[in-house]
Amino acid sequence: MKLQNKKDKANQISELISQGLESWVKAGEIVVEMIDIDCMSISDIEEMIPAISSGVIGRFEQLGRKQILPNLLVSNNPSTRYLSQLPYSEQKRLMSESIEVVTEDGDKILISHENLTSFQSRQVFKGGSIRSLSAQRAWIESEKSKRKQDKEDEECLMPYTIKGKSVTFTKGAKLDASQLANLLANLTK
């Protein structure tokens, strides 16, 4: 009996959230009407509804104009920000279809938007578009180069900093005689 009760509660939660999202879309349509027909600005609407910020009213306008899916406003997946920049038709398509993603090995896999990691989201999306598979490969190679350069830059950094007449070691240091002589020379300047 408890399992059924839990299932009923979960279904009720899901239904209420769906009703809420539908209400948001209707509210968005009213915002669009106020802007287009009543010639009001978002700040005019904000003055009439002070509990809602202009940023939120702007999001409702996007909902009403069918520029963003309501599901994206309540999602916190790494891909959400990128999906919301896509055209509405692409948002709808990707809510139900998987996205082709190139792995670092060059393989192609299909991943649903909600399972994309932050790295994969940056790889797949570019502004308001989806990168082709070859563009994803190029992006991966570019990121590898950046990581390699960052590692080389980090290795070149001295394991210490000099401030005035004192030395602060930033990590375990191993200095040869010439490095130590250089360090002492810098301290005595």
- Give residue-wise pLDDT tens across range 115-170: 999 999 999 999 899 999 999 999 999 988 887 776 665 655 667 777 777 877 77
Beta strand segments in 44-176, E:
98-102, 108-112, 125-126, 129-130, 160-163, 166-169
Distance CA(45)–CA(33), nearest Å, equals 11
DSSP for residue 128: T
Q: Within a 10 A sphere around the Cβ of 82, how many other Cβ atoms? A: 21
**Residues facing 129 on adjacent strands:** 126
Distance CA(164)–CA(159), nearest Å, equals 17
Helix (H) or strand (E) holding 4: helix 2-36
> SS3 for 54?
helix
Cβ within 8 Å of residue 46, ≥6 positions away: 52, 53, 54, 57
> Which tokens belong to 78?
């790494």
Residues in the chain with pLDDT values less than 70: 1-3, 150-158, 171, 189
Distance CA(83)–CA(76), nearest Å, equals 11
Q: Within a 10 A sphere around the Cβ of 97, how many other Cβ atoms? A: 12
Q: Which of 85, 19, 27, 78 is nearest to 52 (CA)?
A: 27
Tell me if 98 sits within 8 A of 110, measured CB to CB. Answer: yes
Q: Where are the domains of the chain?
A: 1-67, 76-156, 158-187
Indicate the pTM of the whole model: 0.69
Predicted pLDDT at 158: 67
Predicted pLDDT at 7: 87
What's the gap between Cα 46 and its chain centre? 28
Predicted pLDDT at 59: 95
Taken in order 36, 41, 42, 48, the sign of the CA dihedral is: negative
